[in-house]
Amino acid sequence: MIEVEGLRKLYDSYLAVDGISFSINAGQICGLIGPNGAGKTTTMRCLSGLISATSGSLKVADCCVQTNLKTLKTRLAYVPDDPPLFDDLSVGEHMEFIGRLYRVPDHHDKAIELLRQFELLDKYKAGATTLSRGMRQKLAVCCAYLYSPSVILLDEPLTGLDPPAIRTLLESVRVRAAAGATIIISSHLLAMIAPICTHLLVMQNGSAQYFGDTKTLRDQFPHAKTLEDAYFAATHPDTPSNPPTASPPFNTSALPQHGNQDGSPATSHGVTEAVS
Amino acid sequence: MTSLTRWIHRLAERPTDVETSASNSDSAESQPLLDSTWDSLYIHRQLAWLAARRISFRAERFLRRLRSPRRLIATSLVLLFFSFYVMNGIFILSARAATDPLHLRLWLSGGMVLYLMYHLVKCVWSNTRVNLELSNAETLWLGNSPLCRSSLAVYHVGNLVLPAALKTMMLSILLARDVGYPLLLVIGTFTSLMLLEITRLTFGRLVSGMSKKQRGWFRLITTSSAVALVIQLLACVHSLTASGSPMWFYVINTIRGLGEIASTPTIQFLSTPWIASAYLTATVSLQPLTALQLLAALGIFPLSLILLVKADRWSLLQEQKRDVSRLSEGRYETRESQSHSYSGLRVNRLQSAIDYCTPWIARDTLNLVYRQAISVRHYRYKIAISLLLPTVLCLSPLFMGRITEQWFYVVGGIALCTILLAPPALRIDFRRDLKRMVLLRSLPVKPFSMVVGQLALPILITWTFQLATATIAALVTHPGWDQFILWTGVLFALAVVTFAGENALFLAYPHHQHNEGIAMMLRTKLTFLGKGTVIVITLSLLVLWATLCQNLLPEPYASVCYISGSITATWTAAFLGLAAATLCWRRFDVAMDTPPE
């Protein structure tokens, strides 16, 4: 689970995140959305402990981020947007290193399985520099999944992936959440992630515009036909296309199949529909 | 190399009691955010495995590149240089008189302090925050792993071992004649160099953690100390050299002067951490004390690592404290406040001015220059410091007794600084844009305009340095207008040739800015030798041309012919250099030529 209370982050003299609070339980998938520069990546980096929060209370995977970081890192995986890889290691060696560092039992077999799942097995001996952007993204996800973390933070994981890879990734996210992992997935491709998200955190200018389950967001903006419309209504309330008052009732049949409204993970059927 | 990897692999596989207990206690232990305690041996073995894999990969790539036909010239030069260096060590250096062990010891320990001082001055004037000098991949994969910061520090220091070993090898060949025990020479030199690197890192972290006020004070202290050292060096050279001596006497006495300064009690006091290594290097006879010196030289490592980790922890805490206090006092900007203070109008006016005032053919170049100017503004202190010392050195002949030769010595100094010091000090050209080559390639700018745009600012800055130094020298020595015009014209062209050549070489054999290792070391040495050769050839040609003019033409025409001919010839070389750089830019293949980081 993730519990954040009043997170604020200052970069030199710039306030990147301004007092956001939210809570996500095990098994839930939270879509983190917002325009560029909203503070999404900073929030994720603070949660992962890569950078320290300037103020606020952060509890991730039963660990306080400020005081229990080392234990937290054994339970958490953070996959950044366009992950930098070791230019002088092969795909297999990346997996090998993570397996060793996290002391994963049978890490070689698990690595093979994951690479097969993400169609990277034929690149096992290839150097990292020979990989495309999408392949690098897939390798970073494979490394993250290798030690089965209980909290997974995926920053723009769909960028650069081909449609089958997007389907595989979203399916894997759903499966991991069903197994009890807490997942935050940041993306601009709302239509893609909407079916699997149980919750949404909408950020703008460093603040949280909305946090809650997807149903409540749609209820707040009943005129919105899709989650994307609801997002625009939340982040750009003054635009003429987003009247403040409700117009036609929210039409769920127009949406792709999304996560269950009670907070449990979405079905694989929904994922398949969204990417096909 | 492969056997090393296999050995590390076996080592990493071996389980230990520490590992078992660490693994059991991991879930229960509580580590603070800025934890500086040490990880279990298991973690360090895995990091060693990673380092060995990376070294193995790089070594294989290096050998592959050496065999590549595309790099045939570079490979031949490397082999030639190595043969020359080793032969020089065996046949020439071994025949010279051995240095007194006492002096050798003092120079080694004091020399490290002087070198550290140079790094310190650079560090305090740099705006970049140093975070253990980790690459992006290391920051992500290691920074995100369950490791203590101390392990990251140890890992980084471990990566410095190979470059230090290579430097040790080169120095050992040079100093072999002066010592009785080559093995102790190798150990002493290696430990000295490693300690220097760790101390440099430690100061880097300390400076990163300083507040603006603290940094200001530290800048004042280090810069004034450096200036005092330079003044002391000049005074020392002045006292060592008889008035009217030829220039090369001054060069030799500058090296002697550095040795004298390194031997002073203050510098020796500061060099206390290097004393044991220096004693070890200059061992005359093996005694029980030698064993103690060996222990002390090796024992300083863990101590310096602990200090590095503590400095890192202090730095992180200070940064965190400053952010918290800034937040609580409301001293920050938000996106809204930034958008209010946006100076878009000013930028637009400047862009319009560029568009309006310049012909369309130069607009691309000027826009590139404008972009470079932003970087220059960012690094202005660093650039000023980098050029201040050469200016002082170039003007030092003005303190000499011989009035007639002073002007030529200053000009010679400017030429040397232009060729040797300006390119590493002003890397505001293609060399810093390796990661942005795709972007540069995609710009609708013609190759020649691209080259001129990229090189214009470093050349302009070098011209400013040349003009300022030459003007001061001219005001003191009164060489006459003809000499002033001749030499500034030639020096300006030399700056163009230097930067064009440097960039052409970079585009032909590109490398990342912070690359280290044997390839980089050899590259530096070969470039240095190449530049030296260019200086000698240029001077010889100028002398030949002057002799021809004087012998074949009557006096008033001889001077005019000599000046115009020299300037024309050097500027022709400058344009040829630019053409070569343009050709290399055209040839640069983003996919093939961009080396891995």
Q: What ipTM score was computed for the predicted complex, to two decimals?
A: 0.81
Whether A93 has its CB under 8 Å from any CB of chain B: the answer is yes
pLDDT higher than threshold 70 for residue A264: no
Residues A152 and A32 sit within 8 Å (Cβ to Cβ): no
Which residue from B31, B57, B316 is facing A88, i.e. has the nearest CB? B57
% of chain B at pLDDT higher than 90 = 30
C-alpha A136/C-alpha A128 separation (Å) is 8
For the residues of A163-212, what is the DSSP string, one character each? Answer: HHHHHHHHHHHHHHHHTT-EEEEE-S-HHHHTTT-SEEEEEETTEEEEEE
Q: Quick one: B57 and B89 in the same domain?
A: no
Give the chain A residue whose CA is nearest to the CA of B331: A13
Q: Quick one: B122 and B58 in the same domain?
A: no
**Contact residues on chain A for B145, CB-CB shorter than 8 A:** 73, 101-102
Compute the nearest-CA separation of B154 from chain A (Å): 16
In-domain check, residue B193: yes
Give the chain A residue whose CA is nearest to the CA of B143: A50
Buried b / exposed e over A144-176, threshold 16 CB at 10 Å, is bbbbbbbbbbbbbbbebbeeebbbbbbbbbbeb
Q: Quick one: B252 and B392 in the same domain?
A: no
Whether A14 has its CB under 8 Å from any CB of chain B: the answer is yes
Give the chain A residue whose CA is nearest to the CA of B57: A88
In-domain check, residue B222: yes
Q: Quick one: B306 and B432 in the same domain?
A: no
Contact B327 A93 (CB under 8 A): no
C-alpha B387/C-alpha A56 separation (Å) is 46
Contact B26 A80 (CB under 8 A): no
Q: Quick one: B226 and B157 in the same domain?
A: yes
% of chain A at pLDDT higher than 70 = 85
C-alpha A243/C-alpha B287 separation (Å) is 91
- pLDDT tens string B87-97: 777 777 777 78
* Closest by Cα among B412, B384, B399, B411 to B470: B411
- In which domain, by residue range, is B91 found? 71-95
Q: Specify the pLDDT at position A262.
A: 42
For the residues of A92-151, what is the DSSP string, one character each? Answer: HHHHHHHHHHTT-TTHHHHHHHHHHHTT-GGGTTSBGGGS-HHHHHHHHHHHHHHT--SE
- In which domain, by residue range, is A88 found? 2-275
* Closest by Cα among B149, B165, B166 to B201: B149
% of chain A at pLDDT higher than 90 = 53
Whether A101 has its CB under 8 Å from any CB of chain B: the answer is yes
Which of the residues B8, B329, B335, B339 would you substitute to probe the A interface, choosing the one with the greatest number of A C-beta atoms within 10 Å? Answer: B335
Whether A66 has its CB under 8 Å from any CB of chain B: the answer is yes
Q: Quick one: B375 and B518 in the same domain?
A: yes
Residues B177 and B94 sit within 8 Å (Cβ to Cβ): yes
Amino acid at site B117: M
Compute the nearest-CA separation of A129 from chain B (Å): 7
**Contact residues on chain B for A93, CB-CB shorter than 8 A:** 53
pTM summary value:
0.75
Contact A78 B136 (CB under 8 A): no
C-alpha A224/C-alpha A252 separation (Å) is 10
- pLDDT band at B596, cuts 50/70/90? low
Number of domains into which chain B is organized = 4
Question: Cβ neighbours of residue B235 under 8 Å, at least 6 residues apart?
Answer: none
SS3 B477: helix
C-alpha B453/C-alpha B371 separation (Å) is 9
In-domain check, residue B144: no
Whether A86 has its CB under 8 Å from any CB of chain B: the answer is yes
Give the chain A residue whose CA is nearest to the CA of B20: A103
Q: Specify the pLDDT at position B341.
A: 56
Q: Specify the pLDDT at position A166.
A: 93
pLDDT higher than threshold 50 for residue B129: yes
Which residue from A49, A70, A100 is facing B46, i.e. has the nearest CB? A100
C-alpha A231/C-alpha B348 separation (Å) is 34
CATH number reported for the structural domain that contains residue A51 in this entry: 3.40.50.300
Number of domains into which chain A is organized = 1
End-to-end alpha-carbon separation of chain A, Å?
31
Q: Quick one: B205 and B57 in the same domain?
A: no
- Report CA-CA distances (Å) from B344 to A248, B338, B348, B358: 42, 12, 6, 21
pLDDT higher than threshold 70 for residue A261: no
For the residues of B392-418, what is the DSSP string, one character each? Answer: HHHHGGGGSS-HHHHHHHHHHHHHHHH
Q: Quick one: B158 and B269 in the same domain?
A: yes
Find the mean pLDDT for residues B2-29: 44
- pLDDT band at A260, cuts 50/70/90? very low
Whether A36 has its CB under 8 Å from any CB of chain B: the answer is no
Q: Quick one: B277 and B402 in the same domain?
A: no
In-domain check, residue B340: no
Q: Per mean pLDDT, which range of A242-251, B96-105, B413-422, B532-541 is the poorest?
A: A242-251
Q: Quick one: B312 and B369 in the same domain?
A: no
Q: Specify the pLDDT at position B76.
A: 77
pLDDT higher than threshold 60 for residue A119: yes
In-domain check, residue B517: yes
Q: Quick one: B122 and B250 in the same domain?
A: yes
Question: Cβ neighbours of residue B378 under 8 Å, at least 6 residues apart?
Answer: B127
The tokens for B454 are 């990229």
SS3 A273: helix
Q: Specify the pLDDT at position B15.
A: 43
* Closest by Cα among B472, B434, B468, B469 to B454: B434
Which residue from B50, B331, B597 is facing A87, i.e. has the nearest CB? B597
- pLDDT band at A103, cuts 50/70/90? very high
C-alpha B185/C-alpha B294 separation (Å) is 11
Contact A85 B137 (CB under 8 A): yes
C-alpha B124/C-alpha A12 separation (Å) is 18
Whether A19 has its CB under 8 Å from any CB of chain B: the answer is no
Which residue from B33, B138, B332 is facing A67, i.e. has the nearest CB? B33
Q: Per mean pLDDT, which range of A97-101, B55-59, B124-128 is the poorest?
A: B124-128
C-alpha A83/C-alpha A141 separation (Å) is 10
- pLDDT tens string A62-84: 888 888 888 899 999 999 988 99
Which residue from B29, B54, B135 is facing A71, i.e. has the nearest CB? B29
Q: ∠ CA A88-A89-A91 to the nearest 5 degrees?
A: 140
- pLDDT tens string B156-212: 999 889 889 988 988 888 888 888 899 999 999 999 999 999 999 999 999 999 988
SS3 B107: helix
In-domain check, residue B197: yes
C-alpha B174/C-alpha B93 separation (Å) is 7
Half-sphere exposure for B51 (CA within 13 Å, toward CB): 20
- pLDDT band at B77, cuts 50/70/90? confident
Compute the nearest-CA separation of B445 from chain A (Å): 27
Give the chain B residue whose CA is nearest to the CA of A19: B327
Final residue in a domain of this structure, among B272, B300, B321:
B321
- pLDDT tens string B307-342: 999 999 999 899 889 888 888 888 787 766 666 555
Compute the nearest-CA separation of A54 from chain B (Å): 6
Q: Which residue has the higher pLDDT, B102 or B350?
A: B102
Find the mean pLDDT for residues A145-164: 92
Q: Quick one: B6 and B120 in the same domain?
A: no
Find the mean pLDDT for residues B512-535: 73
Amino acid at site A210: Y
Q: Is the dihedral of CA A245, A249, A254, A258 positive or negative?
A: positive
